[in-house]
Amino acid sequence: KNEVEQSPQNLTAQEGEFITINCSYSVGISALHWLQQHPGGGIVSLFMLSSGKKKHGRLIATINIQEKHSSLHITASHPRDSAVYICAVTLGSNYKLTFGKGTLLTVNP
């Protein structure tokens, strides 16, 4: 069983829609990361959080430590947001990232 589960696997939205991607994990973590990967491109770190909520532009990430759950929200989605969004966790004192399998987001104009 994967320690990090993401949903949905695929998501298609119309431009302007509010988008939510979910991430659940099964063990205690020291931090949770949201990453973005464009087709053929490298990976960019969007957020690293261990509690509460962070906001950057139209992106918001929240985490509930008790429920072992995090969400990534995109407000007023745009076709350039189309990418794979990956949730990853750092487990305790281990520096390694454990990844979810990603959510492929397609935003249509």
Partner 1 sequence: DVKVTQSSRYLVKRTGEKVFLECVQDMDHENMFWYRQDPGLGLRLIYFSYDVKMKEKGDIPEGYSVSREKKERFSLILESASTNQTSMYLCASSLKLSLLWTTEAFFGQGTRLTVV
Q: Which of 13, 25, 33, 72 binds partner 1 (CB under 8 A)?
A: 33
Give the one residue of 100, 103, 105, 107 binding partner 1; rule: CB under 8 A: 100
Binding string, 34-53, against partner 1, x = CB under 8 A? -x-----xxxxx--x-----
DSSP 38-101: -TTS-EEEEEEESSEEEEETTEEEEEETTTTEEEEEESS--GGG-EEEEEEEE-TT---EEE--
**Is 46:72 a contact under the CB 8 Å cutoff?**
yes
Token representation of residue 29: 């973590």
Please list the residues that pair with 44 across neighbouring strands: 36
Q: Is 72 or 77 the residue whose CB approaches partner 1 more closely?
A: 72
* Number of alpha carbons in the 13 Å side-chain half-sphere of residue 36: 16
Is residue 109 close enough to count as binding partner 1 by CB under 8 A? no
User: Which of 18, 26, 101, 108: binder of partner 1 (CB under 8 A)?
Assistant: 101
57 DSSP 8-state letter: T
Contacting partner 1 within 77-96 (CB under 8 A): 86, 88, 90, 92-93, 95-96
Total interface residues for partner 1 by CB under 8 A: 22
Interface contacts to partner 1, rule CB under 8 A: 30-31, 33, 35, 41-45, 48, 86, 88, 90, 92-93, 95-97, 99-102
